[in-house]
Structure 1
Amino acid sequence: MEVQIISIGNSKGIRLPKTILEKYNLDDKLELEMKDDCIVLKPLKTPRLGWDEAFKKMNAQKDDELLIPDVFEDEEFE
């Protein structure tokens, strides 16, 4: 697909067609990766996606106990 480079203030950019935005579920930001002689645009992966549900499930199964104590015996507090 050929796209035109356009001026955006002091910078330049490209416009992505609506069909591409919808097909790849692209929002306001993309990950840009430079590989060899190519520029690769990828959707941003949402960090910690699904963690909230996973933590709730762990809690319900009583699988969220600390692996190490949060306070050690030799610690002193003021």
Structure 2
Amino acid sequence: MKKQLHLQIRQIGNSRGLVIPKVILEQVGFDEEVDLIVEGSTLILSKPNKSLREGWAEQAKAIAQAGDDELLLGDFNNDEDEDWVW
């Protein structure tokens, strides 16, 4: 069920923000961080999906140990890249 709450946008330093009532934060289970998605003129807040980066460090180590971590475009600090225009 959708519930609507009217909030004022407030000045917070050089930025602007919303104060979300504690009872609402508890109801949706928000803690210290949220993910923000912008769809047109709609803002969507959700719990962070921490699993997106879960295991990245271990995967990077495995790639390095397998020797499969070479640069795809080469080293930009050598003479082989004379064709590049900056």
- Give the shorter-chain TM-score range: 0.5 to 0.7
Query: How many equivalent pairs are there?
Result: 52
* Unmatched 5+ stretches in structure 1: 52-69, 72-78
Which whole-Å CA distance do the structure 1 matches of 2:30 and 2:19 have between them? 13
1:29-57: CA deviation from partner (whole Å, max 9, x where unpaired) = 11000112211111112324xx9xxxxxx
Runs of 4+ in 1 over 2 A off after TM superposition: 45-48
Q: CA RMSD in A?
A: 2.1
Q: Give the TM-score, by structure 2 length.
A: 0.52
Is residue 20 of structure 2 the alignment partner of residue 24 of structure 1? no
Higher relative strand content: 1
Match of 2:49 among 37, 45, 55: 45
* Unmatched 5+ stretches in structure 2: 56-64, 67-86
Higher relative helix content: 2
Q: Give the TM-score, by structure 1 length.
A: 0.56
